[in-house]
Chain A
Amino acid sequence: MNTKIFKSREFLLFAFIVLFSVLISFVNPKFLSYENFVDLLKSYTILGIFSLGVLLVLLSGGFDLSFTAIAQVVQYAVVYYFIAWAIDNVYVAIVASLLIGAMLGFVNGFIIYYYRITAIIVTIATNSIYIGFLYVVTNGDLLYDIPYSFSVLSDTKLFTVLNENGAEVGVCLATVLWLLMALGLHFFVSRTVLGRSIVALGGNALSAQRVGFNLRFTTLFIYTFVGSMAGFASLIQVSIFQSVVPNSMVGSELEVIAAVVLGGASVTGGRGTVLGTCLGVLLFAVLSNGMTLMKISPFFYEIFTGIVILISVTVNALQDIQRKRSQVRVQVEE
């Protein structure tokens, strides 16, 4: 039992995070303050929410490269119409963004399931369609004057303490929502029939079908879910940045996937945990925040990220090879 925990992906990530934190705080003691930790979580909340959706897709053995495009479209549509119709209600906005995101994601799921095309091709195609049309329709114009109530998501602070300047510091509502959703997703994946069917689909689609899981519903659900997660993340993005830029999230999809993979999810499906994903996101957050605090040029951030990705997939692969070897040995003995 004990050795199992130490060998687990989550423990490894946690150890890495602690190691980096200690290193960084030697150079800059500010790193270990509550204020910095809260900021760090806030700036990676968007990536965190994206990653929950992506985890589900990867678990099912699928792939999604269109979620940032979905997020951009949802964000623009919601904010544009909420300004035009002078609706200032964040709850309605949340429902709207979840619904529009779900619709756009459903299109992916529909094509992938009914036409049996690799998810990566379909989502690249829908990615270019969504982004292309978004630019054509909006001319790339930015939106300001965000409805006031949207800032509730990023300005509400929970678990507040006073810092040395007397200002209130606390975890922002969006971060709390992210962590709550992560908890919910954990129970969904491990305790519900639908959740298990997603993992089964990723493990072996044919066996999953024979056992009697409804693969059509599962596939459609997964891509719809990613879409709505993307929609929700985009609302938090606008709440934090207070402006809508049509290309602000384009190109970050690979970073999200990297974070999920770093968290131990396999791209071939069937393996991955919510805790691992959150720790993967956290590791990215610590890295980027730490490099800023250590005054390392931002140019090196990407190189470092790449090295971390390669190291983590290598460790994963080595563990896999080891596991396979031990499996073979068992078979021989029998």
Chain B
Amino acid sequence: MEQQKRMPRIIRENQILLIVMVLVFFLMSALNGQRFFALDNIASMAYQLPILGCLAMGMMVAMLSGGINLAIIATANFNGIVIALVLQQIMGPENMAAAPLSVSLLAIAIAFVFSMLVGVINGLFISLLKIPDILVTLGTMTIIAGLNVALTSGYTISGFPKEILALGNGHLFGIPSSLLIFIFGCAVCSLLLNRTQFGSSLYMMGSNPKAARFSNINIVKVSVQQYMLSSFFAVLTSLVMIGQLNSVKASYADSYLLVSILAGFLGNVNPFGGFGKVCGMVISVIILQFISSGLNLMSVDSFMITAMWGMIIVVVVVIKGSWPKIAQVLKEKKTQQG
């Protein structure tokens, strides 16, 4: 019963997005024909989607309180670099790929702790000192990006053990494991946001910070948890990236920073905070992936795709802005005819 009730709500809340998704899907299929439907393409889309997906989800968590996490990509790279360095420390610089499972797990755990620490620091600065999120994360981003460069001397570190690679590159029952990681992340995030006190406090903090303060919400605690969750998605991104690229570097995925904010905007996340759902984000990431894969198949220049993403935002903004006017004009016409 409950399931039946909830399904329509998901559709109702994301009506426009779903329509856009279907339209984009048909448009891309029309432009590419058979190739877009091909299993190859769908598999490759499922393989590529998680990196942007995880980053966008982490960005959404930050945007729910009206903030932004500029440090998310730096954190993801940092996480990967810590994994690599721990492996190198234990196994010796040349012998990283031979690390046994226990060592790999240890490396991942240590990196996880460091990434969570970044989240804690972000949250503490933001909530205790009441500094705007954008400034705090600008500072931590610069520091972490600098650390990344300093730790690796700007070089690429490659050659990971196959257990770690399997996380981003393997398949489970024919489904890319990176996609499973993304789904796992979304499920955790959805549970935390919709079913816990933390989630409702976070939404409340975003929609009315003053009211939240007066209603006995521990802002420091919620902020810290929020940025830890954001960092958690950076960790997932990092695991996927290691698997897909078999290397870590200080400057990987740099160009995704702004795209992940755009994905949030497209996914109906209010940049002032308080509104935004996991499923909206998932749909928006899928739309972006359709577009980029479709254009890729047509061998459109990758910079053209960047430009297209920007254009889509502007078009969405203009349509959303003009929609009330158009609707009014249509109504008037109808009444005139009637």
In contact, B138 and A254 (Cβ under 8 angstroms): yes
B146 near A304 with CB under 8 A, answer yes
B304 with A268: CB separation less than 8 A: no
B142 with A302: CB separation less than 8 A: yes
Q: By the criterion CB–CB under 8 Å, are B146 and A306 in contact?
A: yes
Contact yes or no, A118 B271, CB < 8 A: yes
- Within 8 Å CB of A305, what residues of B? 142, 146
CB contact list, A114-147 vs B, under 8 A:
114-118, 120-122, 124-129, 131-136
Measured CA separation A247–B91 after assembly (Å): 39
Size bracket of the B interface: 35 or more
Interface residue stretch chosen among A4-12, A38-46, A148-156, A313-321? A313-321
CB distance from A251 to the nearest CB of B (A): 7
Does B303 sit within 8 A of A, measured CB to CB?
A: yes
Residues of A within 8 A of B301 (CB): 135-136
Q: Contacting B258 at CB < 8 Å: which of A111, A122, A127, A268?
A: A127
User: Given A115-B317, A317-B129 in contact, is the A267-B135 Cβ separation under 8 Å?
Assistant: yes
Q: Is A310 an interface residue (CB 8 A)?
A: yes
> Which residues of the other chain, B, contact A131 by a CB distance below 8 angstroms?
303, 306-307
User: What is the chain B residue whose CB lies nearest that of A254?
Assistant: B138
Of the listed residues B305, B314, B318, the one surrounded by the most CB atoms of chain A closer than 10 A to its CB is B314
Whether A301 touches B262, Cβ cut-off 8 Å, given contacts A258-B138, A267-B134, A313-B136, is no
Whether the pair A118, B272 counts as a contact (CB closer than 8 A) is: yes
List the A side residues contacting B43 at CB < 8 Å. none
Closest to A112 in B: B317
The 8 Å CB contact of B303, one of A117, A135, A317, A320, is A135
Contacts of B261 in A (CB 8 A): 120-121, 124
User: Chain B contacts of A304 at CB under 8 A?
Assistant: 146
Is the pair B140, A306 in contact by a Cβ cutoff of 8 Å?
Answer: yes
B255 to chain A, nearest CB (A): 9
Contact B135 A313 (CB under 8 A): yes
Taken together as a complex, chains A and B put the C-alpha atoms of A314 and B22 apart, in Å, by 47
A309, B142: Cβ atoms closer than 8 Å: yes
Contacts of B130 in A (CB 8 A): 317, 320-321
Does A24 sit at the interface, judged by CB under 8 A?
Answer: no
Residues of A within 8 A of B131 (CB): 313-314, 316-317
Which residues, 233 to 264 on B, are CB-close (under 8 Å) to A?
Answer: 254, 258-259, 261-262
Q: A residues within 8 A CB of B259? A: 128
- Enumerate chain B residues within 8 angstroms of A320, measured Cβ to Cβ: 130
Give min CB distance, B48 to chain A, whole Å: 18
B308 within 8 A of A: yes
In the assembled complex, how far is the CB of residue B293 from the closest CB belonging to chain A, in whole angstroms? 17
Contact, CB under 8 Å: B154 / A307: no
Give which listed residue, B146, B254, B262, B310, contacts A132 with CB less than 8 A.
B310
Q: Check if B93 is an interface residue, CB within 8 A of chain A.
A: no
Known contacts A136-B307, A254-B70; decide if A314 and B125 are in contact (CB<8 Å).
Answer: yes
Q: Are A115 and B143 in contact (CB under 8 A)?
A: no
Q: Are A302 and B145 in contact (CB under 8 A)?
A: yes
Report if B150 contacts A (CB, 8 A).
Answer: yes
Q: Dominant SS at the B interface? A: helix
Beta-carbon contacts of B285-329 to A below 8 Å, as 1s and 0s? 000000000000000010111111111011001101100000000
B310→A126 contact, CB < 8 A: yes
A134 closest partner in B (C-beta):
B303
Q: Is A162 an interface residue (CB 8 A)?
A: no
**In the complex the two chains form, what is the Cα distance from A146 to B305 in whole Å?**
30
Q: Find B311's partner among A111, A129, A136 (CB 8 Å cutoff).
A: A129
User: Which B258-288 residues have C-beta < 8 A from chain A?
Assistant: 258-259, 261-262, 265, 271-272
CB within 8 A of A307: which of B143, B254, B308, B320? B143
Instruction: Determine the distance from Cα of A152 to Cα of B318 in the docked complex, in whole angstroms.
Output: 43
A125 vs B262: C-alpha distance when bound (angstroms) = 7
By a CB distance below 8 angstroms, the chain B residues around A81 are none
Tell me which of B138, B147, B307, B317 contacts A303 (CB under 8 A): B147
B129 touches A314 (CB 8 A): yes
Does A261 interact with chain B (Cβ within 8 Å)?
yes
- A133/B307 in contact, CB under 8 A: yes
Q: Please encode chain A, from 309 to 331, with 1 for each CB lying within 8 Å of some chain B CB and 0 for all others.
A: 11001101110110000000000
Question: How far is it, in angstroms, between the C-alpha of A280 and the C-alpha of B229 when the chains are bound?
Answer: 33
Most chain A beta-carbon contacts within 10 A, residue among B129, B132, B259, B261? B129
Is A257 close to B, CB under 8 A? yes
Q: How far is the CA of A297 from the CA of B146 in the complex (A)?
A: 11
Pairwise interchain contact A114-B321, C-beta atoms closer than 8 A: yes
A129 vs B150: C-alpha distance when bound (angstroms): 33
The chain B residues found within 8 Å of chain A, CB to CB, are 68, 70, 125, 129-132, 134-136, 138-147, 149-150, 153-154, 254, 258-259, 261-262, 265, 271-272, 301, 303-311, 313-314, 317-318, 320-321
Apart from the given pairs A124-B313, A303-B142, A303-B150, 15 other A-B contacts in the complex at a CB distance below 8 Å: A122-B314, A124-B261, A125-B310, A125-B311, A136-B301, A305-B146, A309-B135, A309-B138, A310-B136, A310-B143, A313-B129, A313-B135, A313-B139, A317-B130, A318-B129
Q: List 24 A-B contacts (CB under 8 A).
A: A111-B318, A115-B317, A120-B68, A121-B262, A121-B313, A124-B310, A125-B262, A125-B310, A126-B310, A128-B259, A128-B262, A129-B307, A133-B303, A134-B303, A258-B139, A261-B135, A261-B138, A267-B134, A304-B146, A306-B142, A309-B139, A310-B125, A320-B130, A321-B129
